[in-house]
Structure 1
Amino acid sequence: MTVLESRSEVRVRYAETDAMGVAHHANYPVWFEVGRTDLMRQLGLPYTEVEARGYYLMLSGLSVEYRRAARYDDHLMLTTRVGQVRSRTLTFTYELRRGDELVATGETRHIATDKNYRPARLPGDVMEALTGGADG
């Protein structure tokens, strides 16, 4: 199976830090969303298009492992990968680094729903894009 990934640059902004200049833990899921959005766009599946076709990729789970503190004005690189893809669910994994130093890892789990929030099967072309053409 092809590894599908994207890289997104993150610069820690002052507003994202506490009084000690350390990035607040609540920012990491926001940064993960940046990576996920970039990856989806790279795959030719911008969220706007997926939603226009009548689907939501609702968040059903989130985990973050904090390894090192990110600080004000740090230049970070976020690698986002497509994890497991099923007909109605998918995962993304994240690795956030400052140079060679691992800052955090994480995972988000999503369920595909229709506009009425009922679980829905993803269309074949969406599944193909998310799996790199492999059987999902």
Structure 2
Amino acid sequence: MNGPSPLAGESLIRVRYAETDAMGVVHHAVYPVWFEVGRTELMEARGLPYTEVEARGYYLMLSGLNVEYRRAARYGDALTLTTRLGSLRSRTMTFLYELRREDELLATGETRHIATDRTYRPSRLPDDVLHILGGESSARLPSR
């Protein structure tokens, strides 16, 4: 994920005690939850909260998830999650993630999503939604 992205944002995360194991290391299952935080905040910063997508009759269902763990995050760490839109098509999208503690890369990941209607059938997203998601800008996201 080198270089500028047309759609990127940062989420600040402070590791909570409940997210760690007995050794104070973040449990592997927490990373996808953090990815959701980044994705949700990115969409909100673009002016398209996920609640609006659902209100318009669409779901962005998870169709794939990958996490590459490089270094352990620990209780109390201040982390920066960078979320980028990797690809966008009429029915599918991919988000890319980098999790860092200062300049140290801790994890990378990817989530793939397919747009469906309320009956869970694949559905083309409206042009205005595609335009908002695919727009040319970056966003600084609020802390969590």
Equivalent position of 1:5 in the other structure = 8
Distance in 2 (alpha carbons) for counterparts of 1:43 and 1:94: 17
Alignment pair present for 1:64 and 2:71:
no
After TM superposition, give the deviation of residue 2 of structure 1 in Å.
Answer: 5.7
Q: Which of the residues 121, 126, 129 maps onto 1:123?
A: 126
1:15-67: per-residue Cα shift (whole Å, max 9, x none)?
11011100000000000000000000011110000000000000000000001
Letter in 1 for 2:109: G
What is the DSSP-based 3-state SS (H/G/I as helix, E as strand, rest coil) of the residue aligned with 1:90? strand
Distance in 2 (alpha carbons) for counterparts of 1:33 and 1:43: 15
After TM superposition, give the deviation of residue 129 of structure 1 in Å.
Answer: 1.1
Mark the runs of 5 or more structure 2 residues left unpaired by the alignment. Answer: 137-144
Letter in 1 for 2:21: D
> Share of identical aligned residues, percent?
74
Equivalenced residue count is 133
Contact 1:65 1:105 survives alignment (8 Å) = yes
Alignment pair present for 1:49 and 2:52:
yes
| Larger RCO (CA within 8 A; separation ≥ 6) | 2
Mark the runs of 5 or more structure 1 residues left unpaired by the alignment. Answer: none
What is the DSSP-based 3-state SS (H/G/I as helix, E as strand, rest coil) of the residue aligned with 2:32? helix
Distance in 2 (alpha carbons) for counterparts of 1:83 and 1:7: 15
Equivalent position of 2:83 in the other structure = 80
What is the DSSP-based 3-state SS (H/G/I as helix, E as strand, rest coil) of the residue aligned with 2:39? helix
Distance in 2 (alpha carbons) for counterparts of 1:58 and 1:2: 23
With the length of structure 1 as denominator, give the TM-score of the two structures.
0.95
Alignment pair present for 1:105 and 2:108:
yes
Letter in 1 for 2:126: P
Equivalent position of 2:140 in the other structure = none
Structure 1: 4+ residue segments shifted above 6 A: none
Letter in 1 for 2:15: V
Contact 1:2 1:131 survives alignment (8 Å) = no
What value does the CA root-mean-square deviation take over the aligned residues?
1.2
Change (3 A) 1:71 1:2: closer
What is the DSSP-based 3-state SS (H/G/I as helix, E as strand, rest coil) of the residue aligned with 1:41? helix
Distance in 2 (alpha carbons) for counterparts of 1:41 and 1:108: 18
Distance in 1 (alpha carbons) for counterparts of 2:122 and 2:87: 17
